[in-house]
A and B are shown apart, each in its own frame.
Chain A
Amino acid sequence: MGTSTGAAEPLPGARRPTVPRASLRVRLLRRPEVGALAAAVAVFVFFSLVTDTFLTPQGVATWLESAALFGIMAVAVSMLMIGGEFDLSTGVMVGSTGLLTGVLATHAGVNVWVAVVVSLVAALAVGLVNGLLVVRTGLPSFIVTLGTFFVLQGLNLALTKAVTGQVAVQGMTGAAGFWDARWLFGSSMRLGPATFQVSILWWALFTAACTWVLLRTRAGNWIFAAGGEARSARHSGVPVLRTKVGLFALTAFAGWLVGMLSLFRTTTVQASTGVGVEFVYIICAVVGGCLLTGGFGSAIGGALGALIYGMTYQGIVFAGWDNNWLKAFLGVMLLAAVAVNTSVRRRAHTAGAARTARTSPHVAAAGGSPGGAALDPEGEVRR
């Protein structure tokens, strides 16, 4: 904070060390992920009390791994949602990239590293097509990516069957370069009595990187603006279309990453992988505080949404309940999240507005403003 480069700024107050901030309570309430954080704590406490395994080191490692694979996608989907768009092809993309890598490595004799890069390029190409179709045609991304979803789902099954004669790719372990690539995508490390998967690290890194982009770069500003009010953003010189296409590429990238993480963890991939999961990502993003209408949300929120999902998913297993309860729970979470998000946002807004109305006329009248603010912003004009 203390490394401001504004030394040459002639403005009064520009070099003042601090600009007043709202109270901690208001700032906290304004964060999109505050509801998800509270819910995550509640779920954590609940399963810690109800089951014996949940809080053991291996239990933690298990639900973190579940959360990680959903979390990477949920974070990317959150970014896209903040940018005002949807992507329904995210789940099936996980399958497509895994299948492509697997087929190339096992049936085309390609080195695994080459197969990994080829599937990345293919994923980015699909992302670009999604993005360009949306911004060029002006069609809702819901429809465009629904199309992509079905195309990829069909290709996954048809091509896998045509090439391998089965509906899954197997025999990855024999492919050249597999064990090297597995170190990057499928390894694990022992911490005390528990084994943690490397996917958890990827999840943490990806969430951190996306948070950085969203809050601390120009691109992040543009994402919020593009989703919040695209026309105003364009008038201010924001490259709205480029931003949106970039976001579609980002979700495709995340799909590829999750595809690689699951492929190298399990060494096999089913042709039907990822179908139906796209809605879980969207639910995680909404539970994490993203507005369906765009312009509001956070990457950490998406990660927290996925954490809730992962904890519940494994918590139900640990408790020995029927795991169909998970879907019902998800539905309830989604509805609760929408309600909480709406009310939290309204409260944050009114809290801010009330403060302004109360404080600024007083400050101006007291002459406490260094900018020479002799005008009372709320007063009457001379007649």
Chain B
Amino acid sequence: MSGVDGAPRGGEVIIEARRIGKDYGNVTALADVSTTVRAGEVTCVLGDNGAGKSTFIKVLSGVHRHDHGELVVDGEPVVFDGPRAALERGIATVHQDLAMVPLMPIWRNFFLGSELTRGRGPLRRLDVARMRAITRAELLRMGIDLRDVDQPVGTLSGGERQSVAIARAVHFGARVLILDEPTAALGVKQAGVVLRYIVGARERGLGVVFITHNPHHAHPVGDRFLLLNRGRSLGDFARGEVDRAELVHLMSGGAELDELAHELDRDRS
């Protein structure tokens, strides 16, 4: 958390979205959305339910193709033909289900589907010592000290589980992490845990795309704030261009919330 407010702390631009749009048939799900993701920065994508957050990250993560605008990765325009293509460019998505098996030990989950082995032929076997060591080391780098990497993932708190998923994505070569509502299902304290890991990832030089509907979660960690409402951009602000009160105001539809507050006040009296 070393960045001075307002000063960009990030490195080079990894992803640049230029006036991205996406239609589902006649329905415009997303229009004219622009933002940038830099190495060592957190780009927050804020919006209420149905604002177009998930459509936007599906474009970034290669699940959907955009219909308008340009997606520029490392300076060259790209059209991803699947999540694997995005992954190959180092863009990894941590979904809400985290792709974890609760009854399995942490280290087995960490390497699930990409297990390290040694020996060959019928003697090809898991390199347990190395996987356990790497799991522990990667979790430490995330600032999480679990001591016992054999405990089942199901015994971890929601925040810790998120951090294992993040550490796993980082270990397998992610330069940009897309975190889909990582704090949505968590209590205040657990959300705090996850925010710390987001900061940890940022300080290791990763670009983070943090999707949330909670401006109180976004403001402390964000370097850039993209606000979406009904598929359109309400603005793409750098840190310092907007304060928390403004974020809350814009997020909640500003005027609409004023109206609501007014109405509720009137009902009470």
Contacts and interface: CB of A to CB of B under 8 A. Distances in A.
Contact of B103 (A22, A220, A296, A350): A296
Interface stretch (A63-71, A110-118, A230-238, A245-253): A230-238
A339 interface: no
Interface in B78-137: 95, 97-104, 108, 111-115, 117-118, 124-130, 132-134, 136-137
B124 to A, nearest CB: 7
Contact of A379 (B128, B148, B149, B196): B196
A380 to B, nearest CB: 5
A237 B114 contact: yes
A349 B101 CA distance: 14
A372 B110 CA distance: 21
Contacts of B102: 228-229
Contacts of B139: 371
B147 A235 contact: no
Contacts of A348: 152
B144 A15 contact: no
A238 B125 CA distance: 17
Contacts of B199: 375
Interface in A1-46: 1, 4-6, 9, 11-16, 19-22, 26-27, 30
A89 B125 CA distance: 31
Interface stretch (B25-33, B153-161, B174-182): B153-161
Interface residues of B, number: 61
B130 A5 contact: yes
Contacts of B189: 378, 380
B220 A229 contact: no
B126 A218 contact: yes
A5 B143 contact: no
Contacts of A379: 192, 196
A352 interface: yes
B191 to A, nearest CB: 8
A373 interface: yes
B244 to A, nearest CB: 9
Q: Among the interface residues A16, A19, A27, which one has the most CB atoms of the partner chain B within 10 A?
A: A19
A263 B221 CA distance: 70
Interface in B167-194: 189, 191-193
B126 A221 contact: yes
Interface string B207-225: 0000000000000110000
B144 A377 contact: yes
A238 B112 CA distance: 7
A238 B99 CA distance: 11
Interface in A205-229: 212, 215-218, 220-221, 224-225, 228-229
Interface of A: 1, 4-6, 9, 11-16, 19-22, 26-27, 30, 212, 215-218, 220-221, 224-225, 228-229, 231-233, 235-238, 291, 295-296, 348-350, 352-353, 355-356, 359-360, 363-364, 368-383
6 contacts: A19-B149, A233-B99, A353-B151, A377-B145, A377-B193, A381-B192
